[in-house]
Amino acid sequence: MIFLDNASTTKMFESAAGQYKKYACQLFYNPSAFYRPAREVKNALDEARKCLLERLGAKQGQIVFTSGATESNNLAIMGSRRNGKWEYVFSMGEHPSVFNVAKELERQGCVVHYLPLQNNGEVDYDALEKVVNEKTRLVCVMHVSNETGALNDIKKVSKIVKSKSKALLHVDGVQAFNKIVFSIDELGADSYTISAHKFHGPKGVGALYVRNPNLLKSIVFGGGQENDLRSGTENVPGIMAMKDACEKINVSENFEKVQKLKNILCNILQKDENVKIVESLSPYILSMSYRGVNGETLARALQDEDVLVSTGSACSTKKAGNRILESMGIRKEDVVSSIRISFNAYITEAEVEEAGRKILSCAQKIHLLKI
């Protein structure tokens, strides 16, 4: 099986699974307890925080452990909400775990603005400049699009936001963290979401980085864990497995490898003039369409050839993929034909070549059958 749906999830590293087992079966203590072995677990959690802060390139700020990116995004948005006539700004490219929170804010009577996307999938920076003002409370622009691999210029976004308002900038970094080299301090984001299962850690665990925890309010109330920002006993095995996965990844080395894999695939696919590729800066994600061939039909045919790809974001409805591609101005026919191919650094070149040949042969067969 050639797994090319790594934007939806990745295989956990064996070493991460080892850490999971260690903290589930041996060092299973509650980190909030007073006795010595529990203190040891608490210290281990603090080491995991340090590890994430270091990988983020953060000299200040706090890591709040969560159940994954969906919760981190909800916490960043709902936790920064304040009473009064505040406005909220979201890009049209956001994942449903951000976009549907924006819709909820609207339902609750908040003023919400949506930023269109440019043809290359990046947010429209001019539109951002026009909409941000002193009433803006929060701006959400994701780092890398899970649909297209488009990379937003967060530094530019933060400069615009900070020059026109006192608003907070939240960035969903799920498809960027441990995949592209950056420093959060340089980006200028106030909060940043990460999810372990997108970088070979376990599912159901993630974190929210917050530059200034005093500006965030909890949305889950209970025992006051995580500095009162996220009550509930921490998922220690998951967090320690996430730390292990993080330590195992060499971001720039993997980037080079994946860039090469993407180039190999693009070269094969572009031999057929019916193939249309959405150019994007993240090498981890490739969105393509084959003219006249339905994306879902193609993905199903590829499954029969042992190649797994997605027709869009796996954790969203098809509508979400459409929202994003359509707001980039991609024609309806091409949206219906689109598939998403997403890599990890451990796939071989031979596997990518085989997948490329199969994508073309399946698409050509379907195309012929239709004519």
To ligand PMP, the closest distance from the beta carbon of 172 in angstroms equals: 5
Give the end-to-end CA distance of the chain in Å, rounded to a whole number. 30
> What are the structure tokens assigned to 146, written together?
């899970």
By CB under 6 A, residue 95 contacts ligand PMP = yes
Task: Report the C-alpha gap between 194 and 59 in whole angstroms.
Answer: 17
Q: Which residues contact 258 (CB under 8 A, 6 or more apart)?
A: 179, 283, 284, 343, 344, 345
Q: At 232, which amino acid appears?
A: G
Pick the closer one to ligand PMP by CB: 165 or 178.
178
- Of 55, 58, 65, 68, the one binding ligand PMP by CB under 6 A: 68
Q: Which is nearer to ligand PMP, 44 or 207 (CB)?
A: 207
Nearer of residues 315 and 360 to ligand PMP, judged by Cβ: 315
CB of 354 to ligand PMP, least distance (A): 26
Q: Which of 41, 44, 69, 154 binds ligand PMP (CB under 6 A)?
A: 69
- Name the residue nearer to ligand PMP (CB basis): 293 or 345: 345
Pairing of strands 191-195, 206-210: antiparallel
Query: Is residue 150 at the binding interface for ligand PMP, with CB under 6 A as the rule?
Result: no
Query: At closest approach, how far in Å is the CB of 304 from ligand PMP?
Result: 25
Contact 286, 280 (CB under 8 A): yes
Q: Does 31 bind ligand PMP (CB under 6 A)?
A: no
Residues facing residue 74 across a β-bridge: none
Nearer Cβ to ligand PMP (142/363): 142
Size of the site for ligand PMP (CB under 6 A): 15
Site stretch for ligand PMP (CB under 6 A), options 18-26, 170-178, 230-238, 284-292: 170-178
Enter the DSSP assignment of 151: B
> In this structure, what DSSP letter does residue 284 have?
T
Pick from 165, 175, 225, 235: which binds ligand PMP (CB under 6 A)?
175
Nearer to ligand PMP, 68 or 356 (CB): 68
Please list every residue from 178 through 197 that binds ligand PMP, using CB under 6 A. Answer: 195
Q: Which of 122, 172, 190, 226 binds ligand PMP (CB under 6 A)?
A: 172
The 3-state secondary structure of 319-367, one letter per residue: HHHHHHHHHCCCCHHHHHCEEEEECCCCCCHHHHHHHHHHHHHHHHHHH
Listed in order, strand segments (DSSP E) in the chain are 2-3, 62-66, 87-91, 111-115, 136-140, 168-172, 191-195, 206-210, 275-278, 285-290, 307-308, 338-342
Options 10, 62, 70, 191; binder of ligand PMP; rule CB under 6 A? 70
Nearest-approach distance from CB 342 to ligand PMP, in angstroms: 10
CB atoms within 10 A of CB 76: 30
Catalytic residue among 110, 140, 315, 362: 315
| Residue 287 found at the interface with ligand PMP (CB under 6 A) | no
Nearest to 245 by CA among 254, 234, 233: 254
CA atoms of 156 and 187, how far apart (whole Å): 8
Closest CA to 208 of 20, 92, 53: 53
Among 146, 165, 287, 294, binds ligand PMP (CB under 6 A): 146
Contacting range for ligand PMP; rule: CB under 6 A; set: 55-63, 169-177, 183-191, 343-351? 169-177
Mark the segment that binds ligand PMP (CB under 6 A) among 171-179, 323-331, 332-340, 348-356: 171-179
Active site residue 315: yes
Residue 213 burial (C-beta neighbours within 10 Å; 0-12, 13-18, 19+): middle
Q: How far apart are CA 35 and CA 263, in angstroms?
A: 54
What is the smallest separation between the CB atom of 74 and ligand PMP, expressed in angstroms?
Answer: 10
> Which positions are annotated as active-site residues?
315
Q: Which residues bind ligand PMP (CB under 6 A)?
A: 8, 68-70, 95, 97, 142, 146, 172, 174-175, 195, 206, 313, 315
